[in-house]
Chain A
């Protein structure tokens, strides 16, 4: 079985400061990991993914994520937050043995204050 946890319901950060949104996962095989963002009244937008290779993955809007196999984590990061980054962020995992179904975390609301 595959599962993913986002331990923080909300993260608050000041504009210009670095941000981290946490994600941990559990799979029986090798993980495929994804981050999505959801702005108010919109569907989810793909940000980045880890499939294999370099542990640091770069994505859209200046976001990046670090895959850490020993800690089973895939935290989303950005060096300098913008007010416009305020949104709901979802981490998702797929076990490479589990076909095409993604399992999503519960979501983390990011609030960036000016």
Chain B
């Protein structure tokens, strides 16, 4: 079965640089979520999109922005990177129809800021 695809899997950037993370949801899934997991931490919700519109926002820094495109893939753009942005970034997707929207996670993008 198709899964959530994230690219790149690993990314190394320097402070003050920018980074773009991509997420390709499972086909026919209409909702995308982004989570950030710091070292040894639990995943924290950043932002979500439903049918290409932002549906919820969590603890996402103003330096970050995200969008969902017409083909439902999503991109998380991160600017002025800081050392503290080093983390594993997960994308998850779900389908609105059905009794419960179960989220399926991608393998994550490991971002290292040096």
Q: Do A and B associate with each other?
A: no
Residues of B bordering A, CB below 8 Å: none
